[in-house]
Structure 1
């Protein structure tokens, strides 16, 4: 069945990415959700924290609906924050706090999306003046692509931690194979890469 409402379509794919990102945290220790697994420090909880900030900014501040009205924003959400502050969690920031903020960001974003038409205009305060004016449609596509990108990062990080792969629990979207099959497959790819490099 073809979805007739473009806004609903975009929101559905955004929610799929949100859910996939949170699923990657399930069943892991505090250490595993926080540990850096790339040279630039990519970690699962940091990806969730970052995407929470993205949604709060783009669907809140951009459209005059700031999330932090009464309470001051967290240290990492301010202009004075150190570089990359939104990409990792301090020992004092709990997983529950960050996941909870992300879910609140969804609710706030979904309110903006429901309230405004796709051609509604907003202003991205942190962009250069000449590019600040955007439509809700533009922001939805941007946040959707950003969230999907980070869900992909989370796929790889989670696989490095414990071998868990797939789009969501019960929807692996990866060919079936046991540990031996995948080890043989990986060795085959390694051989192929070395052969190609000799040429």
Structure 2
């Protein structure tokens, strides 16, 4: 997709380019959290509500396909059956939030790549004031602008980005914002052990 303006052009002050850049960074961050993990680790639930890494990617693929695809009259081709069920509101609860045994890691990552590439093309094609319809938003879902879709998807991806941050840290202790900027004050294990102990001691004061 070399014909599409690169959304990571940090020198651009164009509002659409800025929003697109932040969305792209958010996508890259959630994908990075799967790097180096086993098939088991990317799938296993780490919270009582079943939060897991691969399921979050699957969910984000469905959400982007909905907002930047169907809602804007530009559906993503060849979507899996579960997506059609989700759009028809017949999918089982949380059916888009985990990977079944017959769904491979490669399939889900490829789906996310296809959906985000489709979304990038739609974002490039449309102006911020162009509109679509979000049926499940009720009366508020008429004449929704591309700008709203971008802001909503940035918020959605970053919310789940926080989830994958915590899940990855629970798996193997790996932490950080993105490969080129950890946003952490130290990588030293002893530092974090001491910090954790201080936080625990402060909490225990109120136990």
Q: TM-score range by the shorter chain?
A: over 0.9
How far is the alpha carbon of 1:188 from its aligned partner?
A: 0.7
Unaligned runs of 5+ in 1: none
TM-score computed with the length of structure 1 as normaliser: 0.93
Q: Does 1:151 align with 2:161?
A: yes
1:14 to 11, 23, 27: 23
Alignment root-mean-square deviation, CA: 1.5
Distance in 2 separating the partners of 1:29 and 1:141: 33
Q: CA deviation at 1:178?
A: 1.8
Query: Of 57, 64, 81, which residue of structure 1 is paired with 2:91?
Result: 81
Matched, 1:176 2:186: yes
In 2, Cα distance between the equivalents of 1:75 and 1:63?
Answer: 20
User: CA offset at residue 183 of structure 1?
Assistant: 1.1
- Hey, what does 2:36 align to over in structure 1? 27
Q: TM-score, normalised by structure 2?
A: 0.89
Does structure 1 retain, via aligned residues, the 8 Å contact 2:82–2:96?
A: no
Distance 2:72 2:187 in 1: 47
CA change 1:113–1:146 in 2 (3 A) is: same
Instruction: Give unpaired runs (5+ residues) of structure 2.
Output: 1-9
- Post-superposition Cα deviations, 1:98-157, rounded to whole Å, max 9, x if no partner, equal 0100011111111111111100010012221x1112111001000011101111111110
User: Once the two structures are superposed, what CA deviation does each residue of 1:76-112 show, in whole Å capped at 9, x if it has no partner?
Assistant: 5412110111110001111110010001111111111
